[in-house]
Amino acid sequence: MTTDPLIWLDERAADRELSGLRRRLRPRDPHPPTIDLASNDYLGLVRHPEVVEAAVAALRRWGAGATGSRLVTGTTAEHELLERELAEFVGAEAGLVFASGYAANLGVVTALAGRGSLVVSDAGSHASLVDACRLSRARVAITAHRDVDAVARALATRTEERALVLTDSVFSADGDLAPLAALHRVARHHGAVLVVDEAHGLGVRGAGGRGLVHETGLAGAPDVVITATLSKSLATQGGAVLAGARVRAHLIDAARTFIFDTGLAPAAVGAARAALRVLRREPERADRVLARAADLARIADVPVPESAVVPVILGDARVSYEAALECRARGVEVGCFRPPSVPEGTSRLRLTARADLSVDDLAVIGQVLTEVLARARGRETVSA
C-alpha cells in the first residue's frame, strides 16, 4: 500500500494535462493591454467613475468588511437600501442580499425545499443550482434542456407536498433563453414555485435591463423567485434573492448561507447601488450589449444570440484552449469553456459582449478572430 494517500492527485493531474483540461490561475493586469471578451462586465461599469467612487465612499464610511453575519453586525443601512432598489427595479416585492450569487442559489433552494419535497431542475442549470439540488435533501428530477413537457411530467407524478422548478433565465454556456412563460404555466398548474437565476439576464434582457422575468411579464408573481448576482452587469460582487416578503422573511430564518456567512462587504454594496443608478439613467446600455453580441456573432460566423453570451463551439478541448491562448497573444482575451463546464465534444470559445466595445475594438476583434478561428476550425476538422 502506498504511503502517500494523495498520489491519486498526481495521476489525475497528468490525465487532465493530456486531455487539455488542466486549469491554471493567471493574475490579470489592472490595466490589461488586451480587449476583454472574457469577463462578465456586460455593461462596462467595472471602472465607471461613479461606481468606483461609491465603493470608495462606502469603504471609508463602513470600513473594509461587514464584520459579521447579516444577523449579527453585517447589515448596514446600505444593504437594506440595495435590497429595496433591486426589488423595485425587477418588479419584486422584496429583496435579500447574500455574499455571492452562488450563496443566494444555495440558500433559496435549500430553504424552500428539503425532505418531502421535489426539485425539478434544467439539465443546463448553473453549477450553483446543481449544488443546491444536492444539498436540498429533496428528491431531484433533472429534465432535458428547456424541455417544458418533461417538467410537466415530473410535476404531474409527484407525491411530495412541495415542489420547486429551477432554471437559469439565460444559460451561461450557450447564451440561450429559458421558456419562462411556459415553465411558469406548468409550475402554477401543478402548485410549484418557479425559481429563476437571472445572473446573465439582469442588465441585458428586459426593458432597461430588468431581466427576462420582467420581460416575460412575470415580475411580482407570488410563485416566482428570482436570484441574481451583482458580479456581472452590476460590476461588483454579491448576490440577491428577489421575491415576495414572505420568502424574504423565511430566508432570514432558514437560509444557512445567509445566517452563517459574513455579510457582503459595504464597498461592494455601494458599488452595486451606483451601478444600478447608472443603468436606470442609461437604459440604452442593455440594448448596446445585445447589439455588440450580434456584431461578435457575425465576426465569428455563428448564430446571433439572444444574450451577451456568444458561444463558438470548436469541439476539442485542446484546440479550444490553444485558440484562446492565440487570441490572447494577439490582444483579444476570450473565455474558454471545456468539460466539466460543458459536455464532452462541445469545448468552445465563449465571447461575452460589452456595451462599451468601440468600433476600433470590433475592427481588431474581427481581424484576430477571423484568422484564429480559421486555423482552429481547420485543426478540428483534421482531428475529427
Residues 153-180 pLDDT 10s: 999 999 999 999 999 999 999 999 999 9
**Mean local confidence (pLDDT), 353-371:** 97
**Mean local confidence (pLDDT), 124-131:** 96
Give the whole-angstrom CA distance, residue 334 versus residue 356. Answer: 16
CA dihedral 253, 197, 97, 350 (to 10 degrees): 140
Tell me what the pLDDT averaged over the chain comes to. 96
What residue type is 224 in one-letter code? Answer: V
**Residue 139 reports pLDDT greater than 70:** yes
pLDDT band of residue 28 (cuts 50, 70, 90) is confident
Give the whole-angstrom CA distance, residue 17 versus residue 293. Answer: 32
pLDDT in the model for residue 383: 55
pLDDT band of residue 384 (cuts 50, 70, 90) is low
**Residue 81 reports pLDDT greater than 80:** yes
Strand partners, 313: 348
**Mean local confidence (pLDDT), 221-243:** 98
**Mean local confidence (pLDDT), 218-234:** 98
pLDDT in the model for residue 100: 98
Domains and CATH numbers, the chain: 49-281 (3.40.640.10), 283-383 (3.90.1150.10)
Helix, strand, coil shares, percent, the chain, to 5: 45, 15, 40
pLDDT band of residue 101 (cuts 50, 70, 90) is very high
pLDDT in the model for residue 268: 98
Nearest to 90 by CA among 285, 227, 264: 227
Give the whole-angstrom CA distance, residue 384 versus residue 374. Answer: 15
**Residue 99 reports pLDDT greater than 90:** yes
What residue type is 105 in one-letter code? Answer: N
**Residue 382 reports pLDDT greater than 60:** no
pLDDT in the model for residue 380: 61
**Residue 18 reports pLDDT greater than 90:** no
Output 320 or 31, whichever has higher pLDDT: 320
What is the CA angle 77-82-88, rounded to 5?
Answer: 130
Give the whole-angstrom CA distance, residue 114 versus residue 56. Answer: 41
- Angle subtended by helix axes 266-281 and 284-300, to nearest 10: 90
pLDDT in the model for residue 95: 98
Give the whole-angstrom CA distance, residue 379 versus residue 316. Answer: 9
DSSP states of 192-243: -EEEEE-TTTTTTSSGGG--HHHHTT-TT-TTEEEEEESSSTTSS--EEEEE
Residues 260-318 pLDDT 10s: 999 999 999 999 999 999 999 999 999 999 999 999 999 999 999 999 999 999 999 99
pTM value? 0.94
**Residue 381 reports pLDDT greater than 70:** no
pLDDT in the model for residue 30: 87
Give the whole-angstrom CA distance, residue 86 versus residue 12. Answer: 43
**Mean local confidence (pLDDT), 369-380:** 91
**Mean local confidence (pLDDT), 51-69:** 98
CB 225 within 8 A of CB 108: yes
Give the whole-angstrom CA distance, residue 294 versus residue 291. Answer: 5
Give the whole-angstrom CA distance, residue 357 versus residue 189. Answer: 44
**Mean local confidence (pLDDT), 120-140:** 97
Per the document, the length of the chain is: 384
Strand partners, 337: 348
Query: Residue 128 class from Cβ within 10 Å (0-12 exposed, 13-18 middle, 19+ buried)?
Result: buried
Grid coordinates belonging to 148: 417544458
Q: Give the side-chain half-sphere CA count within 13 A for 372.
A: 28
